Amino acid sequence: MLDLIIPHYTEPWYIGKKMFEILDVQRGIDFADIKVILVNDGKENALDQKHFENRPYRVEQISIDHAGVSAARNAGIRASDAEWVMFCDFDDTFTNIYSLRDILNALKQGEGYDMLWSDLYIEDGKSEEWHLIKKDKEDAVFTHGKVFRRQCLLDNDMWFNTELNYNEDSEFNAIFHTKVHFQRTGKLVTPTPPYAWCWRKESTSNRDGSSIPAAWGHFKRNLSVCKAFEERMPLPRYCAMVTRTVYDAYYTLNGKHLESELQDMKRQFAEWYMAHKQYFGRIDVKSIAMIDVISQAEAKREDHDKSLNIIDWLKKIEKEYGTQPKA
């Protein structure tokens, strides 16, 4: 019924050990209903097969030429033969011994749905005092805590963008919602959040030097989602996505000391903005305020220039990069 697709790169076994150990002790399920597809991103990164012997569930370990997390997830989709797939990270975990029971029970009632989402725990490792954040609203940021009907992904040509190693999951989720009717998505109701996204200092998004590639990934994700929204979403939703992209750029590119690696992004944003500015801000004040808060949390630089508000910054962009090109 359910395949757990887990990409693995160079992480040592002890990082993923907790995931497999909590799977071993799941209660109230038939282990024949699940399979783990572990996809090694790089054939030289395969883990010792002894780690997967004598597990009560099937583990299929496959390897691909190194191509990034998106390619690994796509390989997992292709290798799956289950009705449903769930994307997990090697360093994450399920929260309790009944997590899969609760998920499988919900799936058995999931006729008519193509995606179900659950509450999700997120580790906050950035603050001084470690704590869990409970996400109890559906969002387009995480693929985690969500289950997708595999045939729906195939029918809609839904694959992870192999050009992105940052924000590839939020792009996937956002574009998925443009292709699937909202009534075919629903909440996977469980007594407690079944999945925990775990923070790790050495992860791709947290390691030293990740800020510039992450900014580019964020920007490319936004442009890709804007294009999908323009093609498939009502005008207010498209305007909201354009507005979100502008706010994200404002908090990313309006720094007092802009790195040379971001200069080309600033130029690309300027060209894009001048071709799409007629859609910026064409939403209600409450939505704009919400977008502002989210963009500050996700895109704001430490050296953000607060002396220049977003309207003045955009005027500066237009002045710097000339007249509006043809859209």
Q: Give the pLDDT score at 127.
A: 63
pLDDT, greater one: 165 or 185: 185
% of the chain exceeding 90 in pLDDT: 77
Among 78-82, 94-98, 125-129, which stretch is predicted with the lowest mean pLDDT? Answer: 125-129
Residue 21 to residues 14, 37, 50, 90, 317, Cα–Cα distance (Å): 11, 16, 14, 12, 53
* 35 vs 37: CA distance, rounded Å: 6
Q: In CATH, what number does 2-197 get?
A: 3.90.550.10
pLDDT higher than 70, residue 203: no
Buried b (16+ CB within 10 A) or exposed e, 23-42: beebeebeeebbbbbbbbbb
Q: What is the pLDDT of residues 235-294, one digit of tens each?
A: 999 999 999 999 999 999 998 888 888 999 999 999 999 999 999 999 999 999 999 999
For residue 21, the tally of other CB atoms under 10 A from its CB is 11
* 226 vs 171: CA distance, rounded Å: 10
Asked whether 36 and 58 are in contact (CB, 8 A), the reply is yes
* 65 vs 40: CA distance, rounded Å: 9
Of the candidates 208, 2, 214, 237, the one whose C-alpha atom is nearest the C-alpha of residue 102 is 2
Q: How confident is the model at residue 301 (pLDDT cuts 50, 70, 90)?
A: confident
pTM for the model stands at: 0.90
- Average pLDDT of the segment spanning 87-112: 93
One-letter amino acid identity for 325? Answer: P
% of the chain exceeding 70 in pLDDT: 94
Q: What is the pLDDT of residues 108-146, one digit of tens each?
A: 887 899 999 999 999 886 666 677 888 888 877 789 999
Question: What's the full length of the chain, in residues?
Answer: 327
**CATH 3.90.550.10 in the chain, residues?**
2-197
Q: Give the pLDDT score at 257.
A: 86
pLDDT, greater one: 295 or 206: 295
* 259 vs 246: CA distance, rounded Å: 19
Residue 289 to residues 222, 244, 258, Cα–Cα distance (Å): 18, 11, 26
Q: Give the pLDDT score at 71.
A: 97
One-letter amino acid identity for 20? Answer: F
pLDDT higher than 50, residue 327: no
pLDDT higher than 90, residue 32: yes
Q: What is the pLDDT of residues 34-75, one digit of tens each?
A: 999 999 999 999 999 999 999 999 999 999 999 999 999 999
Q: Give the pLDDT score at 204.
A: 60
pLDDT higher than 60, residue 206: no
